């Protein structure tokens, strides 16, 4: 047997099938929920969201397979170029992007539109992993400052300008976790905490003044949902009503009312978990969360078993991203977090997010698979 054939057999044998099938199951469940949430009640027209998501599922699975068969270590060579391209895409979006719901986050190419910020999450994780993997000792002051300036400040300003505050904050958190996992000098951590505490009042005021009216309303509604239950607090209150109405076992598939009767806004995107909880109740929600937990734990386990620093940091970044996605989305539908426009991964309607998430899972599979490589 040739060396190339032996290598292929080893790699196929060690594919992580749990990580492979988990996002597919989640997406199929999401498509079924999208179908239910958008089904007609008073007329016969049914929006084609579920059909579009099915097409994106096929494209996402193809992307995941291709990425999982790709040697993730080859990204080391092209990561900085990819990062520059990602920054350019974000800037182009601000200038020429399509506006929708108070934000300018989409680019159109013919009949297709996509959201560059969703792909940029993966790009940032890859590039930051490359940079940190080249540093052998705990990060010094200047290395940390450089990391924040290049990989945090610049993307944050661009995303904040769209505005896409949810994605901007997610990138900051992902970066901080990756820096901590890489290792930072203890005195630097202390200095950073003190500096943040001093700068918090001024920074908070600047951010608040820069927010759009709808973003301010979301924060006010989170702090006091009862301040305007028929206005700015309506979405959160209606979401909690929808989730609570599912009780233990739910009303049953296609028997939910809050979504189809249009009581719940954004029922097939950011608030799709509420529709699912109404139909499947606590038991169904627990099952759904179990799949997410399995995927996230598997991701951190992949980071633990990786044979190189780049793979470890890449898996940590992706796993933290999924953890934030799930925590923030479900938290905001339950009124535990402010509404920031973060979708539920593999579940909410959205082609770019689905495709980028499948690519991320493909990278996890590639990292886990190559830890058994005899040709490292």
Give the number of other Cβ atoms within 10 Å of residue 98's Cβ: 13
Give residue limits of the domains in the chain: 26-369
Average pLDDT, the chain: 83
In the chain, % of residues over pLDDT 90: 39
User: What is the predicted pLDDT for the residue at 327?
Assistant: 94
d(CA 186, CA 191) in angstroms, rounded, equals: 9
Closest alpha carbon to 346 in 337, 333, 338, 356? 356
Give the pLDDT mean for 88-94: 87
pLDDT in tens, 314-337: 999 999 999 999 999 999 898 888
Long-range contact pairs involving 156-159 (C-beta distance under 8 Å, separation at least 24): 158/87, 158/90, 158/91, 158/94, 159/90, 159/117
Q: How confident is the model at residue 1 (pLDDT cuts 50, 70, 90)?
A: very low
In the chain, % of residues over pLDDT 70: 79
User: What is the predicted pLDDT for the residue at 231?
Assistant: 61
Give the pLDDT mean for 258-264: 73
């Amino acid at each position: 047997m040739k060396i190339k054939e032996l290598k292929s057999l080893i790699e196929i044998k060690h594919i992580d099938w749990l990580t492979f099938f988990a996002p597919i199951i989640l997406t199929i469940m999401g498509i079924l929920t999208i179908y239910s949430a958008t089904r007609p009640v008073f007329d016969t027209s049914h929006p084609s969201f579920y059909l579009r998501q099915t097409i994106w599922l096929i494209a996402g699975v193809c992307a995941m397979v291709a990425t999982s068969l790709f040697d993730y270590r080859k990204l080391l060579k092209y990561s900085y170029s990819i990062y520059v391209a990602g920054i350019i895409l974000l800037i182009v979006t601000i200038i020429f992007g399509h506006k929708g719901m108070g934000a300018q986050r989409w680019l159109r190419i013919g009949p297709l539109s996509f959201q560059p910020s969703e792909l940029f999450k993966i790009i940032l994780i890859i590039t930051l992993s490359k940079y940190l993997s080249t540093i052998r000792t705990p990060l010094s002051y200047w290395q940390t400052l450089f990391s924040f300036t290049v990989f945090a400040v610049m993307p944050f300003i661009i995303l904040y300008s769209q505005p896409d505050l949810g994605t901007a904050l997610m990138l900051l958190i992902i970066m901080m976790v990756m820096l901590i996992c890489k290792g930072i000098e203890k005195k630097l951590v202390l200095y950073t905490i003190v500096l943040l505490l001093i700068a918090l009042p001024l920074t908070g005021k600047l951010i608040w003044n820069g927010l759009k009216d709808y973003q301010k309303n979301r924060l006010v509604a989170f702090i006091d949902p009862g301040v305007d239950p028929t206005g700015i607090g309506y979405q959160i209150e209606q979401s909690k009503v929808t989730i609570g109405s599912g009780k233990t076992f739910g009303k049953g598939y296609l028997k939910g009312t809050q979504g189809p009767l249009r009581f719940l806004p954004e029922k097939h995107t950011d608030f799709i978990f509420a529709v699912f909880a109404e139909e499947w109740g606590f038991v169904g929600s627990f099952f759904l969360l179990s799949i997410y937990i399995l995927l996230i734990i598997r991701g951190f386990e992949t980071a633990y078993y990786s044979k190189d620093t780049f793979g470890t940091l890449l898996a940590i970044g992706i796993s933290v991203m999924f953890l934030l996605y799930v925590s923030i989305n479900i938290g905001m539908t339950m009124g535990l977090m402010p509404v920031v426009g973060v979708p539920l991964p593999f579940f909410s309607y959205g082609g770019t997010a689905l495709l980028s998430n499948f690519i991320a899972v493909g990278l996890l599979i590639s990292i886990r698979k190559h830890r058994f490589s005899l040709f490292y």
